[in-house]
Amino acid sequence: MKKRIASLFCAIAFMFVFVVQPAVAQEPVATTGITVTLRVEGYGNTEVQPVKVTLPATYQSFSDYGLNISQDPGYDTPLHVLAQYCKDEYGADKDAMSALIDVTAGGFLNDFCNDKDNWPTDVYWMYAVNQDACPSDSKGIGYTAASCPIKDGDTVVFYASWYSSFEPSNYAYFNETEAAATIDQPLTLTLLGKGNMSAQSTAAAIDGASLLLYDQNGQTLSSSDYTLSSAKTEADGKDSITFHKAGTYFVSAERQSTLWYDSKGNYAYNISNPSCKVTVTQSQPESSSLSSSSQSSSEESSQSSSLSSSSQSSSEESSQSSSLSSSSQSPSEESSQSSSLSSSSQSSSEEFSQISSSSVFSNSSSLSGETPVVLSSQWPQHLGNAQNNATTLASTPIDGKLLWKSQCKNPNSWGGYAGSPLLINGQIYVARDDEVQILNASTGAIEKSQGLASSLGYYSYPTYGNGKLFVPLGNGQIEALNASTLEPLFITELMTDGSGNPKYQGLSPVYYDEADDMFYVGLTDASSTGTFAAYSAEDTDSTKGTETISPKWTYGTGSYYGAGAVKIEDRIYFCGDDGVLVSADAKTGSDQSTCQIGKVRTSLVSAQGFLWAATDDGVLYKIMPGKNPQISDSVSLPASAKTSPIVVGGKVFVAGGTYGQAGYLKAFDVDDLSETASQTLEDGACYGMLVAPDAVSNEMCVYLTQNNNPGALYLARLNGNSFTFSTLYQPADSQQNYCMSMVAADNNGTLYYGNDSGVLFAIAKNENPQPPAPESSSSSASSNLTSSEPNGESSSQGLENGNQDVSSDQNGSETETTSSEETTEQTPLGAIWQALNGQSGENDDENNLTDSIAQKVREAGQNGQTLLSIAKKDGELSSQTFSELKKYPNLRLSVDAGNYAVSFLGQDVLDPTKGLRLGITVLSDEETKAKLPDNMGNHLIIRFADSGKLPAKTTVVYRLPESMQNETTIYVYRLTDGKDPQFLQQAVVDNKCVMFTTEYGGEYLFTTAKLGTAATDLKAGNGSNQLSQGTGNSATFQIPVWAYVTFAVGILAIVGIVIYLVHWKNRKEE
Is 80 exceeded by the pLDDT of residue 104? Answer: yes
Per-residue pLDDT, averaged over 565-581, amounts to: 95
Most confident of 155-159, 872-876, 1008-1012: 155-159
| pLDDT of the residue at 77 | 93
Provide the pLDDT for residue 191.
92
pLDDT for residue 857: 87
Q: How confident is the model at residue 1039 (pLDDT cuts 50, 70, 90)?
A: low
Residue 933 confidence (pLDDT): 66
Between 365 and 544, where is the model more confident? 544
Structure confidence at residue 639 (pLDDT): 92
Q: What is the pLDDT of residue 978?
A: 67
Residue 927: what pLDDT? 81
Q: What is the pLDDT of residues 118-158, one digit of tens each?
A: 788 888 889 999 888 778 776 667 788 999 999 988 999 99
Strands of 516-561 (E only): list them: 518-524, 530-536, 548-549, 553-555
Q: Structure pTM?
A: 0.49
Per residue in 686-700, pLDDT (tens digit) is 888 988 876 566 788
Per-residue pLDDT at 595: 93
User: In sequence order, which residues have a C-beta less than 8 Å from that of residue 734 and are 6 or more positions away?
Assistant: 757
* Confidence bin at 1019 (pLDDT 50/70/90): very low
Res. 512: pLDDT tops 80: yes
Could you report the per-residue pLDDT of 601-626, keeping only the tens digit for each?
999 999 988 999 999 999 999 999 99
Can you say whether the dihedral through the CA atoms of 473, 430, 554, 633 is positive or negative? negative
**Collapsed DSSP state (helix, strand, coil) of residue 854:** helix
What is the band of 723 on the pLDDT scale with cuts at 50, 70, 90? very high
Instruction: Report pLDDT digits (tens) over 191-245.
Output: 988 876 544 356 788 999 999 988 876 678 888 889 999 889 998 899 999 999 8
> Based on C-alpha coordinates, what's the Rg of the chain?
31
- Higher pLDDT residue, 1068 or 1014? 1068
pLDDT in tens, 818-831: 333 333 344 444 44
The predicted structure's pLDDT at residue 264: 81
pLDDT score of 165? 66
Query: Per-residue pLDDT averaged across 429-435, rounded?
Result: 90
Rounded mean pLDDT, 303-312: 35
Would you say domain 333-765 falls under CATH 2.130.10.10?
A: yes
* pLDDT number for residue 776: 34
Q: Could you tell me which residues are beta bridge partners of residue 379?
A: 423
CA 448/CA 467 separation, integer angstroms: 16
Look at residue 17 in the predicted model and tell me its pLDDT. 40
Domain range summary for the chain, segments of one domain joined by +? 1-165, 167-292, 333-765, 787-1020, 1038-1070
Share of the chain above pLDDT 70, in %: 74
Contacts of residues 584-592 at CB distance under 8 Å and 24 or more positions apart, as own/partner, are: 584/555, 586/513, 586/516, 586/518, 586/534, 587/516, 587/518, 587/552, 588/552, 588/553, 589/341, 589/534, 589/552, 589/553, 589/554, 589/555, 590/341, 590/553, 591/627, 592/339, 592/341, 592/555
Secondary structure element (H or E) that encloses residue 1066, with its range: helix 1041-1069
CATH among 2.60.40.1080, 3.40.50.150, 3.30.420.40, 2.40.50.100 for 167-292: 2.60.40.1080
239-262, pLDDT tens digit by residue?
A: 999 999 888 888 999 998 887 888
Separation CA 812–CA 802 (nearest Å): 20
Quick one: pLDDT at residue 931?
Answer: 75
Please tell me the predicted confidence (pLDDT) of residue 737: 87
Could you give the C-alpha distances from 402 to 108, 421, 442, 715, 1030, in angstroms and in order? Answer: 42, 17, 11, 15, 22
pLDDT at 530: 94
Report the 10 Å Cβ neighbour count for 89. Answer: 24
Is 775 a residue whose pLDDT tops 80? Answer: no
The rounded mean pLDDT for the chain is: 76
- Rounded to whole angstroms, the Cα distance separating 505 from 77 reads 26
Confidence of residue 1021 (pLDDT cuts 50, 70, 90): very low
Task: Name the least confident of 480-489, 843-852, 998-1007, 1009-1018.
Answer: 843-852
What band does 1012 get if pLDDT is binned at 50, 70 and 90? low
Model confidence at 367: pLDDT above 70: no
For residues 657-675, give the mean pLDDT: 90
What pLDDT, on a 0 to 100 scale, did the predictor assign at position 309? Answer: 36
CATH class of 1-165: mainly beta
User: What's the rounded Cα separation, in Å, for the pair 897 and 854?
Assistant: 18
**Any idea which of 279-283, 374-378, 452-456, 645-649 has the lowest mean pLDDT?**
279-283
